[in-house]
Amino acid sequence: MRYTEFSSYMKSVRDLQQAMNDVKYPDKTRTYGGIEHIFRYHGSNGLRFKDIPGLETYHDDDNPLKDDDLEGKIKTILKKLNSDKWSWPFIAPVDGEMVPEYYDYIEYPIDLRTMSERLRAKYYVHQHLFIADLCRMFANCYSFNGVDTEYPVGTTLYRCGYRLNKLALELVTKYFPSSSLRPTLPDLKPGLD
């Protein structure tokens, strides 16, 4: 086949695929209600399996990936991170009045308090959701703060993030050893004391 004939060949393949689908799925006009209304009702609080119609017989015990003590592990990690001396910039959301440009620059802010609230709301149904939030918190820190940016004077937030990230990496490795997701350290290291 010449490359100039490729376009007409692909049109024939597409038409053949469409004809096959018409035979295999003749009633394409039928629509189903879906579960969007359930998501709207529950909002951002998350949706449990038992709230989805048709999943009444789902048994979470059958899930081989289920971590029986996920909540306890996350609670322990958050407690250790919150009590670390380098955690002070991450304890609560960034104050938009003190740093007005932060929320223009950072699209998805996250902090330790928000993670604790998400834990209480049963948002973290899998370890990767929690680890992803940790990764995002540190990525936000590194992208907004330069290595040498001092705030307040004498303290670099990048250094605080780096030190806390180091601890988070140790804790995630300890409590979730089989996880492929890790809060990795950036290549650019701050000047450490």
**Is a pLDDT exceeding 80 seen at residue 75?**
yes
Tokens representing 132 are 């992803």
- CA Rg value for the chain: 24
Confidence tier at 138 by pLDDT (50, 70, 90): very high
Tell me the domain boundaries of the chain.
3-61, 64-175
Angle between helices 127-144 and 157-175 (to 10 degrees): 160
Confidence tier at 76 by pLDDT (50, 70, 90): very high
**147 vs 28: which has the higher pLDDT:** 147
Does the domain at 64-175 match CATH 3.40.50.720? Answer given as no
Query: Which stretches of 56-95 are DSSP H helices?
Result: 70-83
